[in-house]
Amino acid sequence: MINIKELSDEELVYGSLACAGCGGNLALRQALKVLGRNTVIATTACCLMGVTTFYPQLAFEVPCVTSVFPGTGAVISGLVAGLKRKGKGDVNVVGFAGDGGTVDIGLQALSGAMERGEKFIWIAYDNEAYMNTGTQRSGATPFGAYTTTTPGGKKRMWEDRPKKNMLRIVMDHGIPYAATASVAYPKDYMEKVAKAMQAPGPAYIQVLAPCPPGWGHDTDVTVEMAKLAVQTGVWVLAEYENEKLSVTHRPAKRLPVEEYLKKQGRFSHLGPEEISAFQASVDRLWDKDFA
């Protein structure tokens, strides 16, 4: 069990150039508090790579490799094999990628690495769009969200597809551990990172990480947004281990999704009809998977 008060003060990522209020940066810092120095990180093309590997500076205190956008799964496979060969099989090999680099362009290499059953941890920080290149939609963009490739407006061109259920996809690879997490629930997240470190094979964590410029909220409410996502049931804190899926934090009473949607510019064009459709999709998800 993680006791937040007993965590090390040491920051293993320091001097990142992320925007104020970046949820992804928080996800990285919180994870490294648990992973510690015995870790190698592989990042890929994404905001967090851009803001931590700014030549000639490196914000990581642990070794870090950067990969081509689709290649992180292959890079971590190589790292696992190389470290094993050098007798350092106990090092945490961590792929840290955005939602685009996980659910879309990185999926093939990640799938291959999971299939091979190698021991690694994949942390997907999910800000629900391609933020680094100016907020284009990804497979993780939720229904109704404005992005620059799904503009809102009178023509109702916002995202009309549901968010890809990546947890189900990784579970179906038969890996030993998978979870969803939120930067607003650090204890829950860090305990999942600790379990991922102990897993005998691939471990996957998808952590919801709000992005103020991309989501259209102030920089000081990042944690509030990540919390509201959980309290409204839009984002479920779940865990898959021993072939069982369970909820790790069940809101006593789910708030209406409107409480979450109305605080973000990316949903500001939605009317009552779309908000009802959003609510219905959240209710369906809970009834189907988490009743």
Binding site for Mg ion (CB under 5 A): 98-99, 127, 131
Closer residue to ligand TPP, CB minimum distance, 97 or 261 = 97
Total residue length of the chain = 291
User: Per residue, what are the HEC states of 218-281?
Assistant: CHHHHHHHHHHHHHCCCCCEEEEECCEEEEEECCCCCCCCHHHHCCCHHHCCCCHHHHHHHHHH
- Positions touching ligand SF4 (CB under 6 A) are 18-19, 22, 24, 47, 51, 127, 131-132, 211-214
Report, in Å, the least distance between residue 121 CB and Mg ion: 19
Report, in Å, the least distance between residue 123 CB and ligand TPP: 12
Tokens at 1, concatenated? 């069990």
Region of residue 128 (left: phi > 0; alpha: psi -120 to 50; beta: else): left
Report, in Å, the least distance between residue 88 CB and Mg ion: 31
Report, in Å, the least distance between residue 242 CB and ligand TPP: 30
Closer residue to ligand TPP, CB minimum distance, 64 or 131 = 131
Nearest partner of 209 among 239, 184, 240, judged by Cα: 184
Closer residue to ligand TPP, CB minimum distance, 43 or 231 = 43
Distance in angstroms (rounded) separating the CA atoms of residues 91 and 100: 26
Closer residue to ligand TPP, CB minimum distance, 59 or 97 = 97
Report, in Å, the least distance between residue 108 CB and ligand TPP: 12
The end-to-end CA distance of the chain, in Å, is 26
Q: What Rg, from alpha-carbon coordinates, does the chain have?
A: 18
Report, in Å, the least distance between residue 168 CB and ligand SF4: 25
Distance in angstroms (rounded) separating the CA atoms of residues 30 and 25: 9
| Binding at 22: pick from ligand TPP, Mg ion, ligand SF4, none (beta carbon under 5-8 Å per type) | ligand SF4
CB 70, CB 106: distance < 8 Å: yes
Give all strands of the β-sheet with 237-241 in edge-to-edge order: 64-66, 39-43, 92-98, 121-126, 203-208, 177-182, 237-241, 244-249
Closer residue to ligand TPP, CB minimum distance, 101 or 176 = 101
Report, in Å, the least distance between residue 2 CB and Mg ion: 26
Closer residue to ligand TPP, CB minimum distance, 69 or 286 = 69
Tokens at 125, concatenated? 């920080």
Residue 281 to residues 21, 142, 161, 268, Cα–Cα distance (Å): 29, 11, 11, 18
Phi then psi for residue 60, to 5 deg, are -85, 140
| Binding at 69: pick from ligand SF4, ligand TPP, Mg ion, none (beta carbon under 5-8 Å per type) | ligand TPP
- Positions touching ligand TPP (CB under 6 A) are 24, 45-48, 69, 97-101, 127, 129-133, 138
| Binding at 45: pick from ligand SF4, Mg ion, ligand TPP, none (beta carbon under 5-8 Å per type) | ligand TPP
Closer residue to ligand TPP, CB minimum distance, 92 or 102 = 102
| Binding at 51: pick from ligand SF4, ligand TPP, Mg ion, none (beta carbon under 5-8 Å per type) | ligand SF4
